[in-house]
């Protein structure tokens, strides 16, 4: 997949996370529901139609298939949410790790906490720092 297509998918996923807040979903519940289910696993594939279906379709699929995991509640600010969604998808392209594995290393609360320090870094550096921090906590 070309770099421009990858970046387009990163943008779509960032917009998806912002849309979840506009719908009133708790950001931690939404991020976990998205990143740990087959919806994100489909986004991880080299090609799957969901990648090009748009943020509205992806959100409706999560709502249809995983409403039990979603709850209304505290939404993070839109800049943090966009960055989270973008970085999670970029991470998949950068390392080849699955969304589920990525989420284990950097759950939503971690992403919210590090946003102010990491959002100005290159995606690669932010990902490397997140991976290092996870290793330090679990060694």
DSSP string, 32-58: HHHHTSHHHHHHHSSS-GGGGS-HHHH
- Which of 36, 30, 32, 40 has the alpha carbon at shortest distance from 100? 36
Tens digits of per-residue pLDDT, 50-60? 777 889 999 99
In contact, 110 and 102? CB cutoff 8 Å: no
Tens digits of per-residue pLDDT, 36-82? 999 999 999 887 667 778 899 999 999 999 999 999 999 999 999 99
Residues 43, 47, 48, 50: is their CA dihedral positive or negative?
A: positive
Tens digits of per-residue pLDDT, 98-133? 999 999 999 999 999 999 999 999 999 999 999 999
- Which pLDDT score, from 0 to 100, does residue 139 have? 84
Look up the pTM and report it.
0.94
- Which pLDDT score, from 0 to 100, does residue 56 have? 92
* CB-side neighbour CA atoms (13 Å) of 102: 30
């Amino acid at each position: 997949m070309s770099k421009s297509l990858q970046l387009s998918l990163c943008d779509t996923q960032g917009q998806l996370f912002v849309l979840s807040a506009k719908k009133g979903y708790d950001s931690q519940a939404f991020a976990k529901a998205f990143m740990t289910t087959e919806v994100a696993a489909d986004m991880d594939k080299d090609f799957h139609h969901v990648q090009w279906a748009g943020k509205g379709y992806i959100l409706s699929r999560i709502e249809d298939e995983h409403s039990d995991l979603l709850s209304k509640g505290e939404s993070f600010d839109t800049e943090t949410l966009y960055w989270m969604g973008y970085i999670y998808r970029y991470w998949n392209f950068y390392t080849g790790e699955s969304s589920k594995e990525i989420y284990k290393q950097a759950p939503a609360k971690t992403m919210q906490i590090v946003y102010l320090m990491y959002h100005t870094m290159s995606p690669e550096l932010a990902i490397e720092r997140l991976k290092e921090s996870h290793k330090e906590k679990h060694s």
